[in-house]
Structure 1
Amino acid sequence: MKDFEKDYPDYTEAMGYEHGDEPPCNLSANRNFYEVMEARVARRGFLMGGLASIATGLIGGGLSGKAALASSTSPLIGFAPVPVSFEDKVVLPEGYTFQVLGAAGAPISGDMPAFRSGANSGDEQEHQVGQHHDGMHFFPIDGSSEDGLLVVNHEYIEPRFLHAEKPGYKGQPIGDSDVVYDADGKRDDDEVRMEIAAHGVSVYRTAKQADGSWAIVADPRNRRITANTPMEIAGPVRGSAHVRTKYSPDGTNTRGTVNNCAHGYTPWNTYLAAEENWAGYFANTTQLDQKPDLPREHARYGVSTNPQGGRYGWHLAKSGADEFVRWDATTRGASATEDYRNEPNSYGWMVEIDPFNPDAAPVKRTHLGRFAHEGVVFAPAVEGAPVVCYSGDDSRFEYIYKFVSDAPYVAGETDGSILDSGTLYVARFNDDGAGEWLALTPGRNGLTPANGFADLADILVNTRLAADHVGATKMDRPEWGTIDPRTGDVYFALTNNSRRTQAQVDAVNPRAENNFGQIVRWNYEGNDHTRSSFGWDLFVIAGTGRSSVAPAGGSLNDDNIFACPDGLWCDENGRLWIQTDMGDIGPDYSGPLKDFGMNGMLIADVETGEIKRFLTGPWGQETTGVVSTPDGRTLFVNFQHPGAHASPEDFAAGNFGSGFPDYDGATVPRSATIVITKADGGMVGS
């Protein structure tokens, strides 16, 4: 498995690639997680080729005495599993219903501008729900399970659906990531403004109505946070030379947030939005001797050297206004305060948002590190003890991180500033099932000026390079994490686990390109998350019946096969909700993931190891984002990018790839939240 990094010379051809994924950036010699897995298996006397034979070697061993290999029927999962689906619809177990809430373009603020399919303006989009929903959290109002603020991330956009009725798009063969330039290579200002506004975060009030449905409620707290919203920079990087720009010469402020994937919910009742694949939004065409000349804080993250940038070419808007040209990180002035060479350094952070205070500027918390954050998950807060949280870097062969605050948590007093001082660590997974956290602080583990790390701000801006230097374990796209609130066990999804080409498949190695993923789990002695050592195992190895290992031993079956675990959430009762992202799969897909049908969501009982498929979604979508009301009787789930598999020719012909959620034959598909309830009013999943 250690040679996997060489399997795909063109990273866009790798299974599971989605628009916006980073190019390979980790060129360090650190061991990847595959080598650790192989070494551990070898130590226990198993062969890697036979997955069934490693069930007791990797699954359920050494964690808190759980009955991980028990074979019993779960008391927590009381529904009949739904089958794999190939249909353009939402499928739920018998006895469950759903409704659509907050689809892209739904009005939430201002004069509540109506959604017009493919025809809204930038000004209207600034008051409408953004595109491509991802992580979210429900903030109850006064503890209510029927009234609260829903905060939703918007990971990226599909320009052709935003502009479907506009010249240059309507009736044209436009791909899912394409934008239209004029003859001079420039972009329309309003189209760019709309795309910027469709990114970021939506905050809106939603309440249960008399008929049992949920609706958006006009409220002064409703707002859009976009890729142009003013924000503060906090923590050790604030004011440093790394983030000084023309907009903020003192390095204390920036604008906007993009590619907000998963999220976090703090013990002090605020929201954290993750900035994931942000590097491709920028262009840096600086050259030295006619060759690209990127600083390491750009190169290690994949900032594009293409004059149009890696994604949407926002810096090429016709007007040349400052809000647009800031996406050009090319060195143009005599100093950093005369251009935007440092603008990319103000991205890659976790962004704290107070949903109840619309006047409070979002804050980028730099001590949590700079990388492709998938999200952040907090350990249960302990009065008088440090705050602890975890975050994965969602790119191939990147790392998992932990932050431990200096100050103790004090209920009712602690706020987000506690995240500005502490220690950031990166994980090393050892062969024997033990692991250790390596501190990323000045003077420790070789992070010295002599080795290229001037101070803490320099380490944090170059978090990946610091992790490379200290010898962290390369993981395979760490996605969401979650913590069992009852036991403290930590779970992280590793979404792609590929090793082989199709030509290398044989009877004992059945996983063609081994792209199905796994979920890793760890815990601590005394359930103390501040400790520097931990014990780990694999909770489940995803795949088909022939290529998986179930938590209770044996293989997954028709009721629970899945691939590419992404979203994770452990509810208060110990149900582990698992969401999948196999890419933009449509009905004609015939590749290695064809047996899994459409993306969906499963539930695992972590005590018994039982897993059942709870939901499947429409064509082309990724199932992502999951949270319930406090009483557990209402569940919110997001569907992202339905119809994204539609070819340019399909789009030109008006075949948009999916009808979700409107199914009227004319409206473009839209990302949306669905609200799931049980017909008998019981707890969802029970």
Structure 2
Amino acid sequence: MTASTRSDESGIDLDDIGTNPTANPSFTDLIASRLSRRHLFGLGVGTAGTALLQACGGGGGGGTSFPILPPAPAPAPPAPTPAPPAQQAPLKLNFNAVAKSLDDVVTVPAGYTASVLYRLGDPIAAGVPAYANDGTDAPSTYDRRAGDHHDGMTFFGINASNKWDPAGASRGLLVMNHEAITPLFLHPAGQTVVGGVRTVADEVLREFYLHGVSVIEVNKVGNTWTYKQDSSFNRRVHTLTEMAFSGPAAKTDYLKTKYSTDGSKTRGTLNNCANGTTPWGTYLTCEENWAGYFRRITGTDDAARSLKELASFKRYGIGGKNGSGAETGTGRELWATVAGGNDIHARWNTEVLGATALDDYRNGSNTYGWVVEIDPFTPASTPKKRTALGRFGHEGACLGPVVVGKPLVWYMGDDSQNEYLYKFVSTKAWDAADIGGGIAAGDKYMDDGKLYVARFNADGTGNWLELKLGVNNITSGYAKYAFADAADVVINARHAADAAGATKMDRPEWTAVNPKNGEVYLTLTNNSARPVGGTDAANPRSYNDPKNGAAQKGNPNGHIVRFADAGGNPAAVTFTWDCYLFGARSSASPDVNLSALGADNDFSSPDGMWFSEAAPGLLWLETDDGKYTDVTNCMLLAALPGKVGDGAAKTITNVDGGTTATQATFVGKAPGTEGLRRFLVGPKDCELTGIAESGDGRALFVNIQHPGEGTSDIKAPISHWPDGGTSRPRSATVVITKNDGGLIGL
């Protein structure tokens, strides 16, 4: 997510700035190539994985620096991989590319229809009136209305017995995140703030409910999809919903608050960006830019804190001062300041106010930053925050290949500049008997396992570094943060990743797994803090891409990295990688437009990403772009990617004014319009994010987030989508169908 209106007085986007102060070196210096690149990419996945294990010595070793890795003993033969599926005819994109556009509409190719399904404020319970969309709707009804900023999303098909059916094509539960809010459009005249204090409690109540998650039943009748307003499955999960903790941090001192004196529970979830699923049929919502919601004034609170607490706050961006010395920890929506407020407001103040942690919310910020499991088929169930998956700015949690008898794996990006890529591997091996097991199945697979962070080496290999007390420099003697126990490691996963020596990436966002070969794709949206001379092989570009005459430096257009775990085994500790695709203007120089994009497929700032399940190998790519919006609104592209190593080694030249530097990297095969094509362009000032499909692949659900977000005058919105006329804009889900009833995009 790029929240363009959330800036401090210096104009810096508080959600996107980095808080990583480490000097983890450029990874072109970390490791000398032990294999010829040309030779490496000439190997198959299995043989390349074996070669890499021999050359790189595996992963997860301790130590504080990473020179050339010593040879390792010959690894055990990899476990046999499942038989490949029957060969199918190659996929082919079968639509005319949509042109770039600055219009306030949703544009799809000829032969397709996009219909609005579910909008901000739409009622999801009987008796709740239609949304007035003028700020006058009763705040008490918002726990039964659609939230704002629709984001990550999953379709769960339902059979006649009301059970999960992955092939369900005409009825299902659509579960989606509501990441944040555009406050100007929610109240009669925007937020009421007097002297830095929220003076209308009802406004804040609306905002509490508008964050979180929706579960709605959707149905297809003929060729039309609708949601069922009075379905017994419909549910809103929001900032006031009670949630349990599980895993290593549960019931520890770090999570104790006035609300939960034993650290077993908390209230709510928020800033839910991307998502994930489980093979037993539950939904994972991921807490991303949560830190900015908490109030912590350093001028008064720092004196009451230990050095470890201060190090943790700084690493996660909780409280602090901007370049002008002004406090930034007032809380993004000022929820803690409500005049005459009560405990639901006080919980957003994470300062030391009482005698002990049981008297206040000094640990309140520790209760956010997690992956949260929700059972959509059991509306009364209590969601669980799965602490074993680590605490950071979770963009998503993408499930890897599922094989009976093998561990489960989830891949996760930490969405901030210079943050990391993680994965979690379960201790328990998958048993298909757990399908439909709900939250209890999550207890089995998601509370015990290994958390890893990625190091991308300069020779196209990589290592998964385990985040565990006592290994990889994660000890009580680590100079920047003295780890105490397993709970401390997961709560301060960023510090642990720093200690291990992970690769700082250009804003790691969504991950997606190609069902054809198990390879994993990672969007890197952009990074304004990547200087010329500060690149590495996996983050190889630093340049200037001016917008309306203003400089945009670093890597403003972003790129996508992909990797293959060794031997096709998601639990492996080594991998191979390359750069699949680079965002750029089609008119950019060849050292910027490395993927040779043209007018029909150029893009900027890749963000949402998802592989079709009905058409394996079809990749959908969404943009969250503030860099290229002088030319086009945000978009959705369809892609048919190849595999790791299908391109070539390349040395690029980065230029910024009088500074020039070269960088060696590995660029995937240029996609051309046969392999990448623009499918949809959204309305003004929106982000394209969240995508799912019906079980037969003949309906594509896409979220349009915060149209018109940059509006400053409520009387003159930038956008009026989706209702048109003079209406206020609304985030909404659209459903796209092909007029002939065929598969979308093909």
| Map of 1:396 onto structure 2 | 417
- Compute the displacement of 1:525 (Å): 2.9
CA distance in 2, matches of 1:447, 1:243: 21
- Compute the displacement of 1:61 (Å): 7.9
| Map of 1:154 onto structure 2 | 178
| Map of 1:345 onto structure 2 | 366
CA shift in 2, pair 1:43/1:21, >3 Å? farther
1:77 and 2:93 are equivalent in the alignment: yes
| Map of 2:457 onto structure 1 | 430
| Map of 1:633 onto structure 2 | 698
> Does the Cα contact within 8 Å between 1:617 and 1:623 map onto a contact in 2?
yes
| Map of 1:602 onto structure 2 | 637
SS of the residue corresponding to residue 457 of structure 1 reads: helix
CA distance in 1, matches of 2:631, 2:273: 23
| Map of 1:362 onto structure 2 | 383
Residue ranges of structure 1 left out of the alignment (5+ in a row): 1-9, 46-55, 66-72, 170-178, 503-507, 584-591
CA shift in 2, pair 1:368/1:42, >3 Å? closer
1:416 and 2:442 are equivalent in the alignment: yes
| Map of 2:525 onto structure 1 | 495
The one-letter code matched in structure 1 to 2:632 is G
CA shift in 2, pair 1:148/1:554, >3 Å? closer
- Compute the displacement of 1:58 (Å): 14
- Compute the displacement of 1:337 (Å): 0.5
- Compute the displacement of 1:285 (Å): 2.6
SS of the residue corresponding to residue 499 of structure 2 reads: helix
Q: TM-score, normalised by structure 1?
A: 0.86
The one-letter code matched in structure 1 to 2:340 is S
- Compute the displacement of 1:189 (Å): 1.0
CA distance in 1, matches of 2:592, 2:219: 38
The one-letter code matched in structure 2 to 1:249 is T
CA shift in 2, pair 1:41/1:246, >3 Å? same
CA distance in 2, matches of 1:296, 1:313: 24
CA shift in 2, pair 1:553/1:60, >3 Å? farther
Alignment equivalent of 2:20, drawn from 18, 23, 26: 26
CA shift in 2, pair 1:11/1:124, >3 Å? closer
The one-letter code matched in structure 2 to 1:437 is W
The one-letter code matched in structure 1 to 2:186 is L
- Compute the displacement of 1:544 (Å): 1.6
> Does the Cα contact within 8 Å between 1:26 and 1:300 map onto a contact in 2?
yes
| Map of 1:98 onto structure 2 | 114
Alignment equivalent of 1:141, drawn from 158, 163, 168: 158
CA distance in 1, matches of 2:195, 2:631: 44
Alignment of 1:269-288 (within 5 A): 269-285=281-297, 287=299
| Map of 1:125 onto structure 2 | 142
The one-letter code matched in structure 2 to 1:561 is D
> Does the Cα contact within 8 Å between 2:301 and 2:352 map onto a contact in 1?
no
1:208 and 2:220 are equivalent in the alignment: yes
1:673 and 2:688 are equivalent in the alignment: no
| Map of 1:505 onto structure 2 | none
CA shift in 2, pair 1:288/1:226, >3 Å? closer
CA shift in 2, pair 1:489/1:37, >3 Å? farther
CA shift in 2, pair 1:595/1:188, >3 Å? closer
| Map of 1:303 onto structure 2 | 318
> Does the Cα contact within 8 Å between 2:513 and 2:521 map onto a contact in 1?
yes
1:467 and 2:497 are equivalent in the alignment: yes
Alignment of 1:36-115 (within 5 A): 36=27, 64=45, 75-109=91-125, 111-115=127-131
Residue ranges of structure 2 left out of the alignment (5+ in a row): 1-6, 47-88, 160-164, 321-326, 533-541, 547-552, 643-668
CA distance in 2, matches of 1:233, 1:387: 20
| Map of 1:174 onto structure 2 | none
CA distance in 2, matches of 1:462, 1:290: 18
The one-letter code matched in structure 1 to 2:734 is I
CA distance in 2, matches of 1:509, 1:290: 39
> Does the Cα contact within 8 Å between 2:123 and 2:229 map onto a contact in 1?
no
SS of the residue corresponding to residue 473 of structure 1 reads: coil
CA distance in 1, matches of 2:271, 2:90: 37
Cα RMSD of the aligned pairs, angstroms, is: 3.1
> Does the Cα contact within 8 Å between 1:550 and 1:556 map onto a contact in 2?
no
CA distance in 2, matches of 1:224, 1:38: 49
- Compute the displacement of 1:109 (Å): 2.1
| Map of 1:176 onto structure 2 | none
CA distance in 2, matches of 1:208, 1:283: 45
> Does the Cα contact within 8 Å between 1:398 and 1:474 map onto a contact in 2?
yes
How many percent of aligned residue pairs carry the same amino acid? Answer: 42
CA distance in 2, matches of 1:388, 1:145: 27
CA distance in 2, matches of 1:318, 1:75: 59
CA distance in 2, matches of 1:548, 1:560: 16
CA shift in 2, pair 1:334/1:13, >3 Å? closer
Question: 1:529-565 deviations in whole A, cap 9, x for unaligned?
Answer: 1010000100011102244879998500011000000
CA shift in 2, pair 1:96/1:38, >3 Å? farther
- Compute the displacement of 1:645 (Å): 1.9
> Does the Cα contact within 8 Å between 1:582 and 1:593 map onto a contact in 2?
yes
Question: 1:573-597 deviations in whole A, cap 9, x for unaligned?
Answer: 20111100013xxxxxxxx524640
CA distance in 2, matches of 1:248, 1:290: 24
| Map of 1:589 onto structure 2 | none
The one-letter code matched in structure 2 to 1:620 is D
| Map of 1:478 onto structure 2 | 508
Structure 1 stretch 326-335 or stretch 407-416: which is displaced more? 407-416
Aligned residue-pair number: 626
Alignment equivalent of 2:688, drawn from 603, 607, 623: 623
CA shift in 2, pair 1:307/1:530, >3 Å? closer
| Map of 1:336 onto structure 2 | 357
CA distance in 2, matches of 1:119, 1:41: 64
The one-letter code matched in structure 1 to 2:177 is N
The one-letter code matched in structure 2 to 1:339 is D
1:263 and 2:256 are equivalent in the alignment: no
CA distance in 1, matches of 2:39, 2:247: 39
SS of the residue corresponding to residue 336 of structure 1 reads: coil
CA distance in 1, matches of 2:302, 2:238: 36
The one-letter code matched in structure 1 to 2:147 is G
Alignment of 1:115-264 (within 5 A): 115-117=131-133, 118-142=135-159, 143=165, 144-163=168-187, 165-166=188-189, 169=190, 179-182=191-194, 185-210=197-222, 212-264=224-276
SS of the residue corresponding to residue 696 of structure 2 reads: coil
| Map of 1:586 onto structure 2 | none
CA shift in 2, pair 1:398/1:289, >3 Å? closer
Alignment equivalent of 2:486, drawn from 449, 456, 466: 456
Question: 1:506-530 deviations in whole A, cap 9, x for unaligned?
Answer: xx96745231110000002321010
Question: 1:663-683 deviations in whole A, cap 9, x for unaligned?
Answer: 021x21000000000000000
CA shift in 2, pair 1:101/1:561, >3 Å? same
CA distance in 2, matches of 1:551, 1:77: 26
CA distance in 1, matches of 2:281, 2:591: 35
- Compute the displacement of 1:604 (Å): 0.9
| Map of 1:662 onto structure 2 | 723
CA distance in 2, matches of 1:397, 1:252: 32
Question: 1:252-297 deviations in whole A, cap 9, x for unaligned?
Answer: 0000001000000111110000000000110123656987956333
CA shift in 2, pair 1:432/1:209, >3 Å? same
> Does the Cα contact within 8 Å between 1:59 and 1:551 map onto a contact in 2?
no
The one-letter code matched in structure 2 to 1:92 is V
Question: 1:210-244 deviations in whole A, cap 9, x for unaligned?
Answer: 46242334211111101111000110000111000
> Does the Cα contact within 8 Å between 2:151 and 2:274 map onto a contact in 1?
yes
CA distance in 1, matches of 2:514, 2:468: 29
